[in-house]
Amino acid sequence: IATSATMTTIVHDTTEAVCLSAEYNLYLKPIAKMTVSVALPQLKLPGKSISNWEVMERVKAMVAPEQFSVLRISKSTMDFIRFEGEVENKTVVKSLLGRLDGKSIKLSGFTDVLKVRAVENKVDFPARHDWDSFFRDAKDMNETLPGERPDTIHLEGLPCRWFSQKDSNYPDRPSENVLIAVFQSFGKVRNVDIPMLDPYREEMLDKNFSTFSFGGHLNFEAYVQYQEYCGFAKAMDTLRGMKLMLKGDDGKAVACNIKVAFDTSKHLSETALKRRTLERMKLQELERQREEQKRREKEEEERRKEEERYDQEEEEKERRKEERLRKREQKLREREQRRNLKRVRRQQEEEQKKLQMKIAMEERRLLLAQRNLESIRLIAELLFRADTHAHTHTHTHTGCALKYCPHCYKRII
């Protein structure tokens, strides 16, 4: 069985347990506690001390073969050590008290013995005269009205899992129906309240409740109101000096201490119920208004976001349009630049061609002039030679061995 709280302890002996609810495997087990006090001697030597652990072990040895289910130090002074012990069964308490009360412990290294006193713990639980006197003397109570008389039990420290619906999707959430089923064994239940189940309780005026969200808490408090006084009285008498115990299907059991008191706050009176109902309605209305405000704020936020989105889309459209225009203008400029470049190239090519043609014509003129000049020079040279031949040289040609005259190139016959 999984324990529901740190205060839960495993129970090995369930013989004294009485059934509270067979349907939910809940039992009541008598609390068997005692207080053991060990008087300490005066320490005469400085630096010498008594070990609390050693004294505890001696106390445990004194009750052997019986043993404590729990033994802890509740107070330690220079004069005494006080232990709080608990055993499995109440019938063992008297036997342990006989082995401890009035006995003494001898510690090694000390001449004085340690006196032991042991008493059974008194149950801190309200008795019948407590609630009778309270409601009798209360000035603001009307014993004819439910909730203003001894009919409501206030319980604290109930494990959530032990009172959850079987096969529930929320095993950590106690159920009012389970609470009624468990406690109606004492009498007919008029009303119950589990404050932690009310989501509005934290915001109500009476904030003296241990309200919390589920998932992080293991115990809860509850109010059980009985139809008749006898049911209330029977429940109080039965719960006095008892632990709550859960026994699993495998026979293993765990128990926990719970706090039980009669309600003095008129928690389940008609006035309190109406007040909480009105407060709950106001809180629900406030919650509805808050939800409506949140809804309007959400719609406004969505509208604003939609407008921003629309503006962004328009800006994006405008940006894309401008980008397209810019690209188009860029293309036009690039096209015009290419055209201009082509035009310049064509002009340069044409000018180059004209220049080359001009150069070629000038070269041809120069060549023709050179040829003319050479022709003129050649003619002049020929004329000069002819003239020189005619006037300067006389040829007899007779007996000349030459076939041609070197000056006139005529054949000599």
Condensed to tens digits (0 to 9), the pLDDT of residues 209-260 reads: 444 444 456 899 999 999 999 999 999 999 999 999 999 888 889 999 999 9
Long-range CB contacts (within 8 A, 24+) of 353-360:
none
Q: What are the tens digits of pLDDT across the range 79-94?
A: 899 999 998 888 888 8
221/237 Cα distance (integer angstroms):
19
The contacts of residue 63 (CB under 8 Å, 6+ apart) are 96, 99, 100
Per residue in 121-173, pLDDT tens?
A: 888 889 999 999 999 888 888 888 999 999 999 999 999 999 999 888 888 88
Whether residue 380 lies inside any domain: the answer is: no
Q: Are residues 171 and 260 in the same domain?
A: yes
Backbone angles phi, psi at 138, to 5 degrees: -65, 130
Q: 91 in helix, strand or coil?
A: helix
With H, G, I as helix, E, B as strand and everything else as coil, classify residue 339: helix
Same domain? For 93 and 178 the reply is no
Reported as a pLDDT band with limits 50, 70 and 90, residue 264 is very high
- 19, 247, 305 from 26: Cα distances, Å: 6, 7, 58
User: What length is written for the chain?
Assistant: 413
Of 121, 152, 175, which marks where a domain is finished? 121
pLDDT, position 403: 54
328 within a domain of the structure (yes/no): no
Domain total in the chain:
2
Co-location of 137 and 243 in the same domain: yes
What pLDDT is stored for residue 393 in this prediction?
A: 54
User: Once rounded to an integer, what is the mean pLDDT over residues 54-70?
Assistant: 89
Would you call 109 helix, strand, or coil by DSSP?
coil
Residues 86 and 164 grouped into a single domain:
no
Confidence of residue 406 (pLDDT cuts 50, 70, 90): low
> Do 112 and 159 belong together in one domain?
no
Residues 204 and 252 in one domain: yes
Residue 60, classified by CB atoms within 10 Å of its CB into exposed (0-12), middle (13-18) or buried (19+), is middle
Separation of alpha carbons 318 and 295, rounded Å: 34
Write out pLDDT tens, residues 178-217.
999 999 999 999 999 999 888 877 766 544 444 444 445 6
Confidence class for position 413, pLDDT limits 50, 70, 90? very low
Asked, for residue 58, whether it belongs to a domain, the answer is yes
Q: What is the pLDDT of residue 209?
A: 45
Predicted confidence (pLDDT) per residue in 368-391, tens digit: 888 888 888 888 888 888 888 776
CA-based torsion, 180, 186, 188, 189: positive or negative: negative
Query: Same domain, yes or no, for 216 and 152?
Result: yes
Mark which of 213, 235, 268 sits at the end of a domain.
Answer: 268
Strand 152-159, strand 114-120: pairing: unpaired
Q: Band the pLDDT of 287: cuts 50, 70, 90.
A: confident
> Is residue 115 located within the same domain as residue 133?
no
Strands 80-86 and 70-76: what pairing?
antiparallel
Q: State yes or no: pLDDT of 354 exceeds 90.
A: no
Q: Are 244 and 28 in contact (CB under 8 A)?
A: yes
Task: Give the β-pairing of 189-193 and 9-11.
Answer: unpaired
Q: Which of 102-106, 191-195, 293-297, 407-411 has the lowest mean pLDDT?
A: 407-411
Q: Give the integer Cα–Cα distance in Å for 86 and 34.
A: 6
Mean pLDDT of the chain: 85
Q: What is the pLDDT of residue 214?
A: 42
Taking only the tens place, the pLDDT of each residue in 391-404 is 655 544 444 455 55
Structure tokens at 245: 């115990």
Strand partners, 261: 154
Q: Are residues 141 and 253 in the same domain?
A: yes
Instruction: Tell me, yes or no, whether 133 and 253 share the same domain.
Output: yes
Beta bridge partners of 175: none
The answer to the question of residue 381 being in a domain is no
In a domain, 215, yes or no: yes
Cβ–Cβ under 8 Å, residues 143 and 149: yes
How far apart are the C-alpha atoms of 245 and 30, rounded to whole Å?
A: 10
Q: Where residue 110 falls among pLDDT bands split at 50, 70, 90?
A: confident
In the structure encoding, which two tokens stand for residue 42, read together?
Answer: 């005066």
Query: Is the confidence at residue 15, as pLDDT, over 70?
Result: yes
* Residue predicted with more confidence, 180 or 47: 180
Residue 405 has pLDDT above 60, yes or no: no
Statement: residue 321 has pLDDT above 70: yes
Q: Please indicate, yes or no, if residue 142 is contained in any of the structural domains.
A: yes
Tell me which of 220, 239, 268 is where a domain ends: 268
- Torsion angle, alpha carbons of 97, 101, 103, 104, to 10: 110
pLDDT of 3 > 70? The answer is no
Amino acid at 369: A
109 and 214: one domain? no
- Annotate 200-266 with three-state secondary structure: CHHHCCCCCCCCCCCCCCCEEEEEEEECCHHHHHHHHHHHCCEEEEEECCCCCEEEECCEEEECCCC
Cβ atoms within 10 Å, residue 355? 10
Residue 277 contacts by C-beta under 8 Å, 6 or more apart in sequence? none
77: in domain? yes
Lowest mean pLDDT among 6-20, 139-153, 187-201, 323-337: 6-20
Same domain, 210 and 102: no
The CB-based long-range contact list for 104-107 (8 Å cut-off, 24+ gap) reads: 105/38, 105/55, 105/58, 105/59, 105/62, 107/50, 107/54, 107/55, 107/58
Domain range spanning residue 246? 128-268
CATH number for position 253: 3.30.70.330
Instruction: Please give the pLDDT value at position 251.
Output: 81
Whether 401 is in a domain gets the answer no
pLDDT value for 169: 84
